[in-house]
Structure 1
Amino acid sequence: MLEKQRQQLIIELLEENTFASVKMLCDQLNASEATIRRDLLKLAGDKKIKKIRGGCEALLAKDKPARKISGSAFLAAKERHPNTKRLIAQKAVELCEEDESIIINGGSSTYMMAEFLRTRNMNILTNSFVLAQELLENSDNQITLPGGEIYRKQSIILSAFENDTIQNYHGSKMFMGTPGISEFGVMETDPLLIRAEQKLRKRAEKLIVLADSSKIGVKGNLIFSTLSDVDMVITDSHADPKVLDIFRQAGIEVIIINAAD
């Protein structure tokens, strides 16, 4: 991630939380403590944030702050376990047939599918504008985007309205990532994300979850769907086998690739 991108994400995180510790920024942005401290000094020197002991806080709120949703920043998330995510994405694309219509929910794991979709000829509905741009520039796939607002942090497009492009689309498969999947179901971080993803889910016959081992067994306070609505999970060989057995008992097909990170 470029320095400018990382510093912009720090400002956006402060708009959401007012205060951020160095540790939290390291975790969110997948950066070292030394890097984050340099960023804070630079931003404080430019009078964009207020540096305090152990972290930073926002300056006075803007009159009209941009709309935000909770969740990891796309640019940071795609740098976590990239090699394993790439192999998971490759396996996901192998499940697709030529001329098939599919749905790809935005996220760092599903974005990795772009590399393997370049040589395919498919119909793809996605709310990821970075994935759409990649495929438009480097493939012959037919790309459909839903209407709505762009959320820069997550690099996705979300609509608050029911009547949009999504309602006229049908896909055989929906691919999505998740911050966690456990015996309670597929987790999500924000109610707006859940609403948008459930709209997509209604338009697909099967749900395929791409989740590296760091997401397996992770619980959260918001549930996108129960395990009964999941058809397949693609993960890696570091995943907890006890949790994977729970998935199989729920009727989910589990595909395991060898971890690369």
Structure 2
Amino acid sequence: MVTPQITYNNRPGKHMLEIQRQQLLLDILDEKRFATVAELTQMLKSSEATIRRDLVKLDKQNKLVRVHGGAQAMDKGNKGSSLKHIAGDAFWVSKETKADVKRAIARKAAELCEEGESVIINGGSSTYMMGEFLQSRNLNILTNSFVLAQELAERSTNQISMPGGEIYRKQGIILSAYENDTTQHYSASKMFMGTPGISEFGVTESDALLIRSEQKLRRQAEKLIILADSSKLEKRSSFIFCSLEEVDVLITDSGADPAIIEKYTQYGIQVLIADQ
């Protein structure tokens, strides 16, 4: 499968490029149809001045319509949105949130990979950062993250596989609504994935389509390893991916409450603390 030719930077703390921010801005408008400058500033973690400059440029390019206080998507008649959307934070915004903590967690996760091993890495900002620490490794990796796949394809000699499906640019992943998408032909010892929240309800996710895709990946791996910074502990999202009993390893940071960690260990979960 040909990896989409999109260039990304994996250095911690590096802000998204203007072209990435503007494409994300257009994706947000395609989904919401209208957004205020204040909303875009919050969602894109940028200044109002930056967002206003983006709106001026994109308006001149006839890619959106500037209105008082914000912008709206170009009128497509009765067609509505031109893209399919799933719930969840945008990848490039999420990547900049707690970047140093996520990088430390990703490093700890990469240390669990053994040479020659077959692993599954689910799409997400924390798991994407594993790429930096896998560049010199020799692994067989199945991932639905096209941004991670390109990172590793360009900078490593790992064997990279991807499932078939549609690209969801906002989250940087490929998802398939079909049961047969080549995933079933892959066998892995470990699956790494992030989550918007983990609690006594289990590992949760923001969208039902994500759940369906991730559960297909989970069936192909022996162990499940969750990457979740301390702000995700005792949080829950809209859908349950799996129970705590199904989690083998949880990697978090030193900001985690020891009482919460102890509770998770009672479910048989090995909890690893990543130091920054």
Question: TM exceeds 0.5?
Answer: yes
Tell me the distance in 2 between the aligned counterparts of 1:140 and 1:93: 15
Seen in structure 2, the aligned counterparts of structure 1 residues 19 and 243 have a Cα distance that, compared at 3 Å, is: farther
Partner of residue 8, structure 1:
23
Separation in 1, partners of 2:67, 2:237: 30
Structure 1 unaligned residues grouped into runs of 5+: none
Which residue of 12, 34, 39 corresponds with 2:49? 34
Q: CA deviation at 1:74?
A: 1.6
Q: CA deviation at 1:44?
A: 4.0
* 8 Å Cα contact 1:78-1:109 kept in structure 2: yes
Aligned-pair CA distance for 1:46: 4.3
Q: Could you say which residue in structure 2 is the equivalent of 1:231?
A: 248
CA–CA distance in 2 between the matches of 1:244 and 1:144?
A: 34
Determine what percentage of the aligned residue pairs are the same residue: 61
Match of 2:193 among 145, 154, 176: 176
Q: 1:142 to 1:245 in 2, by over 3 A?
A: same
| 1:92 is the counterpart of 2:92 | no
Name the structure 2 match of 1:73: 90
- 1:102: which partner in 2? 119
Q: Is 1:17 aligned to residue 38 of structure 2?
A: no
- Match for 1:193 among 210, 221, 230? 210
Q: Which amino acid aligns with 1:107?
A: G
CA distance in 2, matches of 1:99, 1:3: 38
Q: 1:213 to 1:36 in 2, by over 3 A?
A: farther
CA–CA distance in 1 between the matches of 2:157 and 2:217? 23
Judged with a 3 Å threshold, the aligned counterparts in structure 2 of structure 1 residues 141 and 257 are, in CA distance, closer, same or farther, namely same
Offset of residue 91 of structure 1: 0.7
1:126-205 aligned at under 5 Å gives the runs 126-205=143-222
Q: 1:51 to 1:239 in 2, by over 3 A?
A: farther
Residue identity opposite 1:128 in structure 2: S
Local SS of the residue matching 2:96: coil
Task: Please provide the CA RMSD for this pair.
Answer: 2.0
Partner secondary structure for residue 197 of structure 1: helix
- How far the C-alpha of 1:16 sits from its partner, in A, is 1.4
Aligned residues: 259
Does the CA-based 8 Å contact 1:29-1:77 persist in structure 2?
Answer: no
**Which residue of structure 1 aligns with residue 261 of structure 2?**
244
Shift of 1:159: 1.3
What is the CA–CA distance in structure 2 between the aligned matches of 1:183 and 1:20, rounded to whole Å? 36
Query: In 2 relative to 1, CA 27–233 (structure 1 residues): closer, same or farther, beyond 3 Å?
Result: farther
Q: CA 1:53–1:246 in structure 2 vs 1: closer, same or farther (change >3 Å)?
A: farther
Indicate if the aligned counterparts of 1:228 and 1:251 stay in contact, CA closer than 8 A: yes
Counterpart Cα distance in 2 of 1:181 and 1:61:
40
* Aligned partner letter, 2:175: L
Secondary structure class of the residue paired with 1:78: helix
Give the one of 71, 86, 104 matched to 1:56. 71
Cα drift, residue 169 of structure 1: 1.0
* 2:110–2:130 Cα contact (<8 Å) kept: yes
CA distance in 2: counterparts of 1:85 and 1:220, whole angstroms? 19
Conserved in 2, the CA contact under 8 Å of 1:68 and 1:151?
Answer: yes
C-alpha contact (below 8 Å) 1:130/1:155 kept by paired residues: yes
* Farther-moved stretch of structure 1 (62-71 vs 43-52): 43-52
Determine the structure 2 residue equivalent to 1:256.
273
TM-score w.r.t. the length of structure 1 is 0.90
Taking a change above 3 Å as real, the CA distance of residues 205 and 152 of structure 1, as seen in their structure-2 partners, is: same
User: Cα offset for 1:57?
Assistant: 3.2
SS in 1 for 2:87: coil
C-alpha deviation, 1:56, in angstroms = 3.3
Q: Partners in 1 of 2:204 and 2:248 — Cα distance?
A: 15
Deviation at 1:144, TM superposition (A): 1.2
Do the aligned residues in 2 keep the contact of 1:147 with 1:165 (CA within 8 Å)? yes
CA distance in structure 2 between the aligned counterparts of 1:101 and 1:69, rounded to whole angstroms: 28
